[in-house]
Amino acid sequence: MLEIADLSVRYGKHTALDGINATVGAGEMVAILGANGAGKSSLLGAVGGRVKPASGTIRYKGADLLALPQHQLVEEGIALVPEGRGIFPAMSVEDNLSLGALPRRAQAGAAQRRDEVFALFPKLAQRRAQVAGTMSGGEQQMVAIGRALMSAPDLLLLDEPSLGLAPIVAQELFAALGRIRAGGLTVMIVEQNAAATLALADRAYLLEAGRIIGAGPAAQLRNDPAVAAAFLGGAPAA
Amino acid sequence: MRIFLTYALPLAALALLAIAPLYASAYQLGLLLGIATYVTLASAWALFSGHTRYISLATVAFYGTGAYTVAVLNESLPYPMVLATAGLIGAGLALVVGLSTLRLAGIYFVIFSFGLSELIRELITWYEVNVTGTLGRYIFLDLTPQDIYWQMLGLGAVTIALTAWIHRRRLGLALRVIGDDETVAAHSGIHLARVKLIAFVLASTIITLAGAIASPRWVYVEPSIVFNPTVSFLTVIMALLGGANRLWGPALGAVPLFLIFEWLSSDFPDTYPILLGLLFIGVVFLLPHGVLAGIEQLRQRRKA
């Protein structure tokens, strides 16, 4: 569904991404792992239209993604949950979700999808009238993911969804991501929490200093001592 | 009750304001006109800036352009044509300015918009001195103060009605979302540049028309009079005082502040700028989200 070839991103003299090749197949959940500054967010930024690459191509459903303006991506089925939530704090949960259904492709069937989002996150159903800005960090992240799902995406981009969340809240979030993945949606997720992400994803790419230093099925990476040393704090994943 | 508040009350107020000049003294009419002007300016300013949070100090750039257009054309074109031309010039200017600057974020946009007002004033001064050789123009139009007031009242009413209409449309939602988070707005399928440009051009055209309508009151016009930066600052502070992201907020801020400014500038002409500065600081400090939001907060606190 997504083919990234020879992608490089530079900020002035600094090279954030250096010749990245990666693919995401339909129905797959692909994780991008790496430390701070490895280039994870630049990679997702390039796919999300926020970052203009210096060179390389990104093809989505066979078409040139880089030729599309940012506001067109959602109409093509790409939904982004940006780092740091990305909700509308002054609006209610319900209004935040309605906003997700703003694109033309999402207008039909919006009510049904909202029920699906509420089924996925029962907490949101209980608090549909609450102003989103007054909710906890984990609940806000649910609103952000719910808003993205409302746009009827074919590809969901998640940028550090567990960032800043308490471990128990993050656990709840990963459980919900597991249910989203089980529903067959294609997902590309950038995370620092390697253990939880590898437990969930089909495949993963390991980024370091703007290059891919490893790739493979998540199950295999989980048991790779090198990966454990670099990303899992040395301890083998459970 | 809702219909009464949304339609009947504003329309009744408008009718009262429309017949007010028949009973007002010349001084009172002057005050009414001033209030109508600033309600229009603050509401138009908020139409763009209230939700997007792009603080514009370019109000006087457009206001002055409208006034100056009338000063240049008032003897060569019939009055309605002069107004239409002023509106077109305002819209054209806003289009050029908007296309080149709405990518600027935050403080850069504020500084640019301030610079724009100064630039236009200096350009016109330069042109008048070096090309036409006249600094200062006269406006002789057969308009009574009542005529001017009614036009301004109409423009103000249209501005508020237009704002109410936009708030209920996709455009209004888009503006609100842009003010909160541009990345998410773009990823919700909102064409950022187009939405911002539409709102900026609408607001700027109204502000230009306000300048054109108000200008006959001056009779004598020169760049330093019509491009007085205080107009921009007053507009911002009025909108902020009332609450820039609410329909009636700017109007609610404009009425008391205009009256206070009138009183200060006539009774304390020397210390007026200092008092003005203190008032600005006070508003931003005490009511960062406006009076309406402040009242709501008080109510909630009482309930709790």
Structure tokens at B155: 């423009």
User: Chain B: residue nearest A157 by CA?
Assistant: B187
Q: Kindly state whether residue B116 falls inside one of the protein's structural domains.
A: yes
Would strands A63-64 and B220-221 be described as parallel, antiparallel, or unpaired? unpaired
> Using CA atoms, how far apart are residues B172 and B304, in angstroms rounded to an integer?
32
> Using CA atoms, how far apart are residues A143 and A141, in angstroms rounded to an integer?
5
Residues of chain A contacting residue B188, judged by C-beta atoms under 8 Å apart: 74, 99-100, 102-103, 147, 151
Structure tokens at A229: 């040393």
User: Chain B: residue nearest A88 by CA?
Assistant: B180
Confidence of residue A235 (pLDDT cuts 50, 70, 90): very low
Highest mean pLDDT, choosing among A50-59, A226-235, B274-283: A50-59
Residues of chain A contacting residue B168, judged by C-beta atoms under 8 Å apart: none
- Chain B positions contacting chain A at CB under 8 Å are 170, 173, 176-177, 180-181, 183-184, 186-192
A99 to chain B nearest CA, in Å?
7
- Helix H or strand E encompassing B55: none
> Using CA atoms, how far apart are residues B52 and B39, in angstroms rounded to an integer?
20
Closest CA to A31 of A219, A182, A238: A219
pLDDT at site A221 = 87
Q: Please tell me the class of the A28-45+73-231 domain.
A: alpha beta
Average pLDDT over residues B169-173: 89
- Residue A207: strand, helix, or coil: strand
Q: What is the pLDDT of residues B208-263, one digit of tens each?
A: 999 999 999 988 998 988 999 989 999 999 998 888 888 999 999 999 999 998 89
> Using CA atoms, how far apart are residues B176 and B180, in angstroms rounded to an integer?
7
Q: Kindly state whether residue B240 falls inside one of the protein's structural domains.
A: no
Residues 6+ apart with CB under 8 A from B69: B82, B85, B86, B89, B208, B212
Please state the domain extents for chain A: 28-45+73-231
> Using CA atoms, how far apart are residues B193 and A64, in angstroms rounded to an integer?
22
Of A48, A87, A88, the CB nearest to B187: A48
Confidence of residue B301 (pLDDT cuts 50, 70, 90): confident
Confidence of residue B288 (pLDDT cuts 50, 70, 90): confident
Structure tokens at B44: 């138009």
DSSP assignment of A116-181 equals HHHHH-HHHHHTTTSBGGGS-HHHHHHHHHHHHHHT--SEEEEE-TTTT--HHHHHHHHHHHHHHH
B172 to chain A nearest CA, in Å?
12
* CB of A80 less than 8 A from some CB of B: yes
B25 to chain A nearest CA, in Å?
45
Q: Based on the number of CB atoms within 10 Å of its own CB, is B134 exposed (0-12), middle (13-18) or buried (19 or more)?
A: exposed
Among the residue ranges A56-60, A221-225, B115-119, B225-229, the one predicted with the least confidence is A221-225
Q: How many CB pairs under 8 A join A and B?
A: 59
Q: Kindly state whether residue B38 falls inside one of the protein's structural domains.
A: yes
Residue A234 has pLDDT above 60, yes or no: no
B243 to chain A nearest CA, in Å?
15
Confidence of residue A237 (pLDDT cuts 50, 70, 90): very low
Contact B207, B190 (CB under 8 A): no
Average pLDDT over residues B130-156: 91
> Using CA atoms, how far apart are residues B197 and B205, in angstroms rounded to an integer?
12
Q: Kindly state whether residue B234 falls inside one of the protein's structural domains.
A: no
Q: Residue A61: left (phi > 0), alpha (psi -120 to 50), or beta? A: left
Residue A238 has pLDDT above 60, yes or no: no
Distance from first CA to last CA of chain B, Å, rounded?
Answer: 26
Q: Kindly state whether residue B75 falls inside one of the protein's structural domains.
A: yes
Of A74, A89, A102, the CB nearest to B180: A89
Of A48, A50, A102, the CB nearest to B188: A102
- Residue B105: strand, helix, or coil: coil
Q: What is the mean pLDDT of chain A?
A: 89
Residue type (1 letter), B283? V
Structure tokens at B87: 């509106």
* Furthest C-alpha separation in chain B: 67
Q: Kindly state whether residue B36 falls inside one of the protein's structural domains.
A: yes
Q: Kindly state whether residue B294 falls inside one of the protein's structural domains.
A: no
Q: What is the pLDDT of residues B23-44, one digit of tens each?
A: 999 999 999 999 999 999 999 9
Q: Kindly state whether residue B73 falls inside one of the protein's structural domains.
A: yes
Q: What is the pLDDT of residues A4-14, one digit of tens each?
A: 999 999 988 88
* Subunit contact B187:A74, Cβ cutoff 8 A: yes
Contact A188, A32 (CB under 8 A): yes
Q: What is the pLDDT of residues B51-92, one digit of tens each?
A: 888 889 999 999 999 999 999 999 899 999 999 999 999 999
- State residue A206 phi and psi, 5-degree precision: -105, 125
Residues of chain A contacting residue B170, judged by C-beta atoms under 8 Å apart: 102
Residue A236 has pLDDT above 70, yes or no: no
Average pLDDT over residues B150-162: 97
* Subunit contact B189:A103, Cβ cutoff 8 A: yes
Residues 6+ apart with CB under 8 A from A28: A1, A186, A187, A202, A203
Q: When comparing pLDDT for A26 and B53, which is higher?
A: A26
* Subunit contact B186:A104, Cβ cutoff 8 A: no
Residues of chain B contacting residue A89, judged by C-beta atoms under 8 Å apart: 180
Number of domains in chain B: 1
User: Chain A: residue nearest B180 by CA?
Assistant: A88
86-105 in chain A: CB under 8 A from chain B: 86-91, 99-100, 102-104
pLDDT at site A231 = 66
Contact B31, B259 (CB under 8 A): yes
Domain that holds residue B198: 2-229
Q: Based on the number of CB atoms within 10 Å of its own CB, is B269 exposed (0-12), middle (13-18) or buried (19 or more)?
A: exposed
* CB of A217 less than 8 A from some CB of B: no
Share of chain B above pLDDT 70, in %: 99
* CB of A13 less than 8 A from some CB of B: no
The answer to whether ipTM exceeds 0.90 is no
DSSP state of A190: E
**Could you tell me how far CA B2 lies from the centroid of its own chain?**
28
Structure tokens at B187: 């990823």
Q: What is the mean pLDDT of chain B?
A: 90
pLDDT at site B133 = 84
B178 to chain A nearest CA, in Å?
10
Contact A19, A56 (CB under 8 A): yes
DSSP assignment of B211-232 equals HHHHGGGTSEE-HHHHT-THHH
